[in-house]
Amino acid sequence: MFGVLTTKTFASELKKLQKHEIKRIKEKINDTKANPFRFFERLSGLELYRLRIGKFRVIVSINFSLKTITLISVGLRKKVYDNV
């Protein structure tokens, strides 16, 4: 089981979303704790991964030795990659 850490950026971006979107994102993140290999895809050229949740993307960093998932950014697909 992987632990989940969040950044300040992720927390502030998440607060801007609607309640039902936040709930959906949190549920999906909880699903990934047991087996992150199933849900995440690596971003080409970066040590980062993405989680797809409908029209939203969550950008994360995964430390396999410490078994932690660090949530970096969340947003609409067309905008979230601009900050990476």
* 11-49 pLDDT, tens digit each: 999 999 999 999 999 999 999 988 888 999 999 988 999
When the candidates are 2.60.120.200, 2.40.30.10, 2.10.60.10, 3.30.2310.20, the CATH number that belongs to 3-76 is 3.30.2310.20
Question: In the prediction, which pLDDT does 62 show?
Answer: 94
> What is the amino acid identity at position 4?
V
Q: What is the DSSP letter of 83?
A: G
* Predicted model pTM: 0.91
Domain edges within the chain: 3-76
- Cα torsion for 54, 58, 64, 70, to the nearest 10°? -150
pLDDT at residue 82, as a whole number: 83
First-to-last CA distance in the chain? 26
Find, among 50, 52, 38, 53, the residue nearest to 83 by Cα. 50
